[in-house]
Amino acid sequence: MNYFLLTLLSRLNKTVLPKFYKKQNLEKLSHLEKGIVGWKIFVTYKYLDAAKKKGVKIIF
């Protein structure tokens, strides 16, 4: 995927999908919630790889 599409997906994930960092125990999530967490991680890793290939500096 290209950098622009992954940037758009990353921003969409951040605004639309729920945040799970407030949950005490991630093992108690439902299957759907685990899928959402997995999707968010997948998009984040792909976005960071595309940014690295493009030479964009990412500041955390």
Question: What are the residue boundaries of the structural domains of the chain, listed by start?
Answer: 3-19+26-54
Which amino acid is residue 2, in one-letter code?
N
Render pLDDT for 4-53 as a digit per residue (tens, 0 to 9).
Answer: 999 999 999 988 988 887 778 888 889 998 999 999 999 999 999 999 99
Q: How far apart are CA 19 and CA 37, in angstroms?
A: 9
Q: How far apart are CA 2 and CA 14, in angstroms?
A: 19
> Which tokens in the block code for residue 6?
């992954």
Q: What are phi and psi of 45, to 5 degrees?
A: -65, -45
Q: 47 exposed, middle or buried (CB, 10 Å; 0-12, 13-18, 19+)?
A: buried
Q: How many residues does the chain have?
A: 60
Which pLDDT value is given to residue 60?
67
